[in-house]
Structure 1
Amino acid sequence: MSDALLDIEPGLAGLAPAVGDHLRGLRGALHARILGTVRAAMREQGRSLTGGQGQGLALGVQTAVDTFVDAVADPGRELTATREVFHALGRTEYREGHRVDALRTVLTLGARDIWAFLVEHTTSAAGRNPGPAPADLYVIAGALFGYVDALAGAAAEGFLDEQRDTAQDWATTRRRLVTLLVQPDPPAEAVLRAAADAARWPLPTTLAVLSVDGTDAEQVARGIGAGAVAAVIGDAVRVVLPDPGTPGRLDRARQALVGRRAALGPTVERHRARLSYRLSRRALTLHQHGALGREPVVSCDDHLLGLLTAWEPGLAAHLADTVLAPLAGLRPTARRALAETLHGWLRRQGQVVAVAEDLHTHPQTVRYRMRQLRTLFGPALDDPDARLVLTLALRQQPTGAADQQPDRAQDQLPTGGADPRFADGVDRRPAGGADRYRSG
């Protein structure tokens, strides 16, 4: 807004002092006329001048009229104070939920009524107490409508400033709520309720935390809807989704995240929100490295084993190196064949024929390899806990040494791949030597 009315309409400098004095004499009549017009305009908008904003607007209109008639008499005077009044009115308009152009409409109607009043008064007073000459009226009209545009601009700035500040306040409030929910120590119920009330967020019974690529928390939360609140924590958006079991809620969340990489933590009770957060956070990290498949949005509940074995970076690899150490001294090809056989034998719970079908080899070859494995691993193959650890190790490092390149040596068996002790289909091993987990 310009600092003076003279900046808006330079022609005011040429008006005789009597013109300004004449407008000052109309101050009271202008107040009554414009307040009536403004009151009618507000009623059409479904508003009233009796409330706090209505009283503030009435005071603002009176201030605007006083400033204008004084500025016509003294066009160089500053308009800063009036501009601040309308900037504040614009802020209040936003807080009370009105449109950005509602106040401009009221101001425009008021300006037209002032102009109509001045024209009517000049015409009716002709010959008795004549008002401004027509040429002077046109100068006043230019100043009036420019002045109202300037006030409307100040109100719009106030509206937008309040909108921006409120958005920042909401982001801060909701970030505090999300942070409270996922912090290591659950907050006191009273503290959590106060934070939820400040964010206007009804506390749910259950929730799930989504970790999403990006930093546009508010946009993600709006897209998901259904009461989702979000904040940027670390290097990604963390979304708290209330009551995920509500029909269609998870489907809508997935649809809103099309084209985004995300990980959905498990549904938990409210006080266990940190568990859902930690799992989704770790899952998103693994997903970013391609470890959890190609689906854009992965569910932690579908990848619990992968999360378990990959939770501490390097631990699963160390487990595999340690547990599969008996294979380390073998040639790469033999090591790979024995690791694949052991993995299949553990998964098939010792069913030799099934393992052979999986590996596209002969059952006798599987039995031969298992005897080698029993020599290498000893009683561990009969221990349930050891078999579990071996399964995890082989899942991490299925060939027994993923970083080694295979050579061209083959895991050959005598006589074309068949153990001679099984040449006629009869087991000629010493008593007690048969596979304990063989079936078929």
Structure 2
Amino acid sequence: MREDLPAVAENVVRAIVEEVPSYVAAFEGSMGETIRNAVQLALGGFLTLASGRRGVALRTPAPAMEGAYQLGRGEARSQRTTDALLAAYRIGARVSWREMAGRAVDAGVDGSTLAAFAELVFAYIDELSAASVAGHEDELASTGRVRARQLERLARALLDGSAEEVVLEAAERADWTPPTTLTAVLVPRSQARPVLGVVPAATLEAGDLAGMDELGVLLVPDAHGRSRSALLHSLRGRGAVAGPARPWLEARTSYARARRAHALGLEGDTEEHLPALVLTADPEALADLRSQALAPLADLRPAAAEKLTETLRSWLLHQGRREDVAADLFVHPQTVRYRLGQLRELYGDRLEDPRTVLGLTLALGVAEPHEVPDH
């Protein structure tokens, strides 16, 4: 049988090529020679196993098991599934059994020995198949972990202000094709997995970042234009914040805006919260502006000052339309008239001054000032 191994191996290879089309290209060139040698190694290992003494536990030779394991890893690196490989094993077992059994019959091997031989053939193939599947799974897991780390490093490089050449090198190492834009999304960690399931596969996940214990950070590619509405729809009801779409190398600016919006207690699309983001960019300046603009109310009782402040804010935002102000404040139009009379007494002609109106509009543009951490 050992003398016939090269011929048997060649017949096995021929049968696999004929019956498993995905292997046609794999058997060409130097790769084909490697696989032919692996087939002979597997067959030789089987004959070594079959030559063991009866009554002694048989163990598949280590070289054959290692060869099968490495074959599985190679299949994973070639981006093939185990389906074709397991089919090749079944074909190889059939062809090998047919040819070696014929040789055994010619040599006068008795029926009981031939039956034990057949059992051994298929047990051996099962072991090799299991070793190859293990190699395939280990390679995928290893490759997946390595690339996941590389993608996370890329996300961090984009967000920590690394030099452009550093970011480009990180993208190349991660085998990540840069998009036109990236959009930073802050999402509660409990919602990160569901969101990742609906956004593009090329989305980057930044992992743990300072000050972001409860939130995950995603960088979603090409969520601009019409695609933005799809992203926002997928985030609805998840407590997420989506920054603006920015050229991918400027993703840090999208992240910074999303963080500011989150610090203000805002959710959803930061583009809908631009006035609040602008007005709270300098909290101390806003506080000083409010004090200056509302100085005429400083001597009033707090409750009275609060009512007049909310009336003044609504009057400015509704451009003096009394009915709209009344509806906004849930009061009678006469109440609005009375309060506006009080405000005119306190401010005098300044309510007609464009600079005063601008200052009041900015000071009251948000209902309450918020302190925003410097990121």
* SS of aligned partner of 2:81: coil
Match in the other structure for 2:118? 141
CA shift at 1:193, angstroms? 2.7
User: Which runs of no fewer than 5 residues in structure 1 stay unpaired?
Assistant: 1-25, 293-297, 398-440
Aligned-residue sequence identity (percent) comes to: 28
Match in the other structure for 1:179? 156
* CA distance 1:134–1:323, shift in 2 (3 Å): farther
CA shift at 1:219, angstroms? 6.8
Match in the other structure for 2:218? 239
What is the count of residue pairs matched by the alignment?
Answer: 354
1:136-215 matches, cutoff 5 A: 136-185=113-162, 187-188=163-164, 190-214=165-189
CA shift at 1:156, angstroms? 0.4
Q: Distance in 1 between matches of 2:193 and 2:206?
A: 7
CA-to-aligned-CA distance 1:329-376 (integer Å, 9 cap, x gap): 64343223222232234335567787567653336513431145338x
> Do the aligned partners of 2:12 and 2:96 also contact (CA within 8 Å) in 1?
no
Q: Distance in 2 between matches of 1:254 and 1:169?
A: 31
TM-score (norm 2): 0.79
> Do the aligned partners of 2:296 and 2:347 also contact (CA within 8 Å) in 1?
no
Q: Distance in 2 between matches of 1:389 and 1:259?
A: 31
Q: Which moved further from structure 2: 305-314 or 233-242? A: 305-314
Equivalent position to 2:82, from 85, 93, 100: 100
> Do the aligned partners of 1:226 and 1:249 also contact (CA within 8 Å) in 2?
no
Q: Distance in 1 between matches of 2:123 and 2:326?
A: 91
Equivalent position to 2:97, from 100, 115, 126: 115
* SS of aligned partner of 2:82: coil
Greater percentage in helix: 2
* CA distance 1:357–1:206, shift in 2 (3 Å): closer
Corresponding letter in the other structure for 1:195: A
Do residues 304 (structure 1) and 274 (structure 2) align?
yes
Q: Distance in 1 between matches of 2:358 and 2:189?
A: 42
* CA distance 1:337–1:281, shift in 2 (3 Å): closer
Corresponding letter in the other structure for 1:242: P
* SS of aligned partner of 1:49: coil
Q: Distance in 2 between matches of 1:374 and 1:177?
A: 56
Q: Which moved further from structure 2: 95-104 or 264-273? A: 264-273
Q: Which moved further from structure 2: 172-181 or 307-316? A: 307-316
User: Which runs of no fewer than 5 residues in structure 2 stay unpaired?
Assistant: 370-375
CA-to-aligned-CA distance 1:32-87 (integer Å, 9 cap, x gap): 21332233313432323224543333222111111111122236556333222211
Corresponding letter in the other structure for 1:340: E
Q: Distance in 1 between matches of 2:149 and 2:246?
A: 25
TM-score (norm 1): 0.68
Corresponding letter in the other structure for 1:197: E
Equivalent position to 2:21, from 31, 40, 45: 45
Corresponding letter in the other structure for 1:104: L
* SS of aligned partner of 1:211: strand
Do residues 34 (structure 1) and 9 (structure 2) align?
yes
Match in the other structure for 1:383? 356
